[in-house]
Amino acid sequence: MDKKRREALVDEYLPMIGHYIYDLGFEIGDGWLGILEELFPKIYKIKQRNGLEYEIIRVMEINGELNIFEEGIFRDHGTPELYQLIDEAKRKSRTICADCGCKARGRRRRNRKKELYTLCDVCLVIRALDES
């Protein structure tokens, strides 16, 4: 786990990160940290420009995709531009390996337990060996 990159993201964007993330971190593989490093500055800029009371409360992998949860149940704290960026990040995560971050070879696939992940061939084998 790339602890330094994770801590740097939290430290830099603390004004828009909830306590859950601060305490427990991002529930994703290191391969997707690049997506967050690209996304967070854009979200922060929109938050500042529009004076939004916007807080990301959880970042996790669900069914082989990056999911970002915000304060509140519905998408009512941001702007259409902000949600377009989040949707774009989710789409990107479907083609980037969650573990190593390689962009050309990440594919959504199931492991032996039928859980869905986005992994490259190499990381798929590594996870299979780890599960053995």
Beta strands (DSSP E) in the chain are 56-62, 65-70, 107-110, 116-119
Average pLDDT, the chain: 86
Q: What is the pTM of this model?
A: 0.88
Q: Residues 6 or more apart from 46 whose CB is under 8 A from it?
A: 52, 78, 79, 81, 82, 85
- Binned at pLDDT 50, 70 and 90, residue 55 comes out as confident
Chain segment 11-46, per-residue pLDDT in tens: 999 888 888 787 778 999 999 999 999 999 999 999
Chain segment 63-92, per-residue pLDDT in tens: 999 999 887 544 556 688 888 999 999 999
Give the integer Cα–Cα distance in Å for 89 and 60: 12
Q: Minimal CA–CA distance to 26: which of 12, 46, 9, 45? A: 9
Q: Tell me, what's the pLDDT at 73?
A: 44
Chain length of the chain: 132
Q: Tell me, what's the pLDDT at 72?
A: 54
Give the integer Cα–Cα distance in Å for 22 and 117: 25
Give the integer Cα–Cα distance in Å for 21 and 105: 29
Give the integer Cα–Cα distance in Å for 41 and 9: 10
Q: Tell me, what's the pLDDT at 8?
A: 93
Rounded to 5 degrees, what angle do the CA atoms 81, 87, 88 make? 90
